[in-house]
Amino acid sequence: MVWDISSVFKSLRWKLQFFYSALLATVITFSGSVFYYQVWRSTFAEVDRGLEAAALYLDVMLRSFPPPAIQQGFDMLSISPPIVKPDGSSPPPPRPRRSKEQFLEELRLPKELNIPGMNGLRDQPYFIVTTSNDKLLKKDFLPPGYSEEDSLGRSFYPRPSLITLKNNLREVRMIGPGGAKIIVGKPLNQEFIRLRNIAFQFVGIGFVFLVFGVGASFAIASRMVRPITQMSATAELLSEKDLSKRLDPNQIDSELAGLADVLNRLFSRLDASFSRQRQFTADASHELRTPLTVIRSVSELSLSQPRSSQEYQEAIEVSLKASERMTNLVDGLLALARLDSSSADFHLQQINLNDLVSESISLLGPMASEKQISLVSELHAVQILGNAESLLRMIDNLITNAIIYNKPGGEVVITLDCENNKASLKIKDNGVGITEEHLPFVFERFYRVDKARSRISGGSGLGLAICKGVVEKHNGAITVQSVVDVGTTFQIQLPVWKD
- In this predicted structure, which of 164-168, 225-229, 319-323, 448-452 has the lowest mean pLDDT? 448-452
Check whether residue 357 and residue 374 sit in a common domain: yes
Check whether residue 335 and residue 273 sit in a common domain: yes
415 residue type, one letter: T
Check whether residue 117 and residue 30 sit in a common domain: yes
Higher pLDDT, 218 or 342: 218
Rounded CA gap, 469 and 447, in Å? 15
Check whether residue 321 and residue 442 sit in a common domain: no
Range ranked top by mean pLDDT from 81-85, 222-226, 303-307, 380-384 = 380-384
* Helix 189-237 vs helix 12-63: crossing angle, to nearest 10: 170
Structural domain count, the chain? 3
Dump pLDDT digits (tens) for 237-293: 766 566 777 777 776 666 677 777 887 788 787 777 777 677 667 766 766 777 788
Task: For residue 283, give the H/E element and its range.
Answer: helix 254-303
Instruction: Give the confidence band of 344 by pLDDT, cuts at 50, 70, 90.
Output: very low
The domain boundary, picked from 173, 203, 237, lies at 237
Rounded CA gap, 340 and 334, in Å? 10
Average pLDDT of 200-222?
A: 86
Is 166 contained in some domain?
yes
Task: For residue 127, give the H/E element and its range.
Answer: strand 126-130
Here the CATH number for the domain that contains residue 470 is: 3.30.565.10
472 residue type, one letter: E
Check whether residue 64 and residue 204 sit in a common domain: yes
Is 460 contained in some domain?
yes
Which residues have a Cβ under 8 Å from the Cβ of 190 and sit 6 or more positions away? 116, 117, 120, 123
Any bridge partners for residue 425, and if so which? 416, 492
**Residue 182 to residues 34, 102, 122, 160, 164, Cα–Cα distance (Å):** 35, 19, 21, 9, 16
Q: What pLDDT was estimated at residue 452? A: 43
Q: Are strands 383-386 and 422-429 parallel, antiparallel or unpaired?
A: unpaired
Proportion of the chain above pLDDT 70, given as a percent: 77
Is 209 contained in some domain?
yes
Q: What pLDDT was estimated at residue 19? A: 82
Q: What pLDDT was estimated at residue 67? A: 65
161 residue type, one letter: S
Check whether residue 30 and residue 129 sit in a common domain: yes
- Backbone CA torsion sign across 268, 270, 276, 281: negative
Check whether residue 1 and residue 130 sit in a common domain: yes
Q: What pLDDT was estimated at residue 346? A: 66
Instruction: Give the confidence band of 456 by pLDDT, cuts at 50, 70, 90.
Output: very low
Check whether residue 302 and residue 352 sit in a common domain: no
Proportion of the chain above pLDDT 90, given as a percent: 15
Is 243 contained in some domain?
yes
Average pLDDT of 229-239?
A: 71
Instruction: Give the confidence band of 80 by pLDDT, cuts at 50, 70, 90.
Output: very low
**Planar angle of CA 453, 459, 465, nearest 5 degrees:** 120
User: Strands across the sheet with 136-140, in order?
Assistant: 136-140, 126-130, 181-187, 169-175, 161-165
Dump pLDDT digits (tens) for 346-387: 678 889 999 999 999 998 888 888 888 999 999 988 999 888
Is 93 contained in some domain?
no
Which residues have a Cβ under 8 Å from the Cβ of 366 and sit 6 or more positions away? none
Q: What pLDDT was estimated at residue 343? A: 55
Q: What pLDDT was estimated at residue 86? A: 55
| pLDDT score of 10 more than 70 | no
The domain boundary, picked from 314, 341, 368, lies at 341
The domain boundary, picked from 309, 341, 373, lies at 341
> For the chain, what is the mean pLDDT?
79
Longest dimension (CA), the chain: 188
Q: What pLDDT was estimated at residue 82? A: 47
Average pLDDT of 64-83?
A: 56
Q: What pLDDT was estimated at residue 137? A: 86
* Of 199, 177, 182, residue with least CA distance to 71: 177
Instruction: Give the confidence band of 411 by pLDDT, cuts at 50, 70, 90.
Output: very high
Here the CATH number for the domain that contains residue 284 is: 1.10.287
Q: What pLDDT was estimated at residue 345? A: 59
Higher pLDDT, 180 or 241: 180
Check whether residue 161 and residue 65 sit in a common domain: yes
What range defines the domain where residue 324 resides? 238-341
Is 354 contained in some domain?
yes
Is 90 contained in some domain?
no
Rounded CA gap, 124 and 118, in Å? 5
Rounded CA gap, 465 and 458, in Å? 16
Instruction: Give the confidence band of 117 by pLDDT, cuts at 50, 70, 90.
Output: very low
Check whether residue 330 and residue 474 sit in a common domain: no
Is 264 contained in some domain?
yes
On whether the CB atoms of residues 332 and 460 are closer than 8 A, the answer is: yes
Average pLDDT of 26-39?
A: 91
Rounded CA gap, 50 and 98, in Å? 30
Rounded CA gap, 494 and 418, in Å? 9
| pLDDT score of 325 more than 70 | yes
- What's the pTM value of the predicted model, to 2 decimals? 0.48
Q: What pLDDT was estimated at residue 70? A: 63
| pLDDT score of 81 more than 50 | no
| pLDDT score of 33 more than 50 | yes
Query: How crowded is the C-beta side of 283, counted as CA atoms within 13 Å?
Result: 19
Neighbours of 488 (CB within 10 A): 24
Check whether residue 213 and residue 269 sit in a common domain: no
Neighbours of 128 (CB within 10 A): 22
Which residues have a Cβ under 8 Å from the Cβ of 109 and sit 6 or more positions away? 54, 57, 58, 125, 127, 140, 184
On whether the CB atoms of residues 15 and 218 are closer than 8 A, the answer is: no
Q: What pLDDT was estimated at residue 428? A: 92
Check whether residue 42 and residue 139 sit in a common domain: yes
Dump pLDDT digits (tens) for 41-59: 999 998 899 899 999 988 8
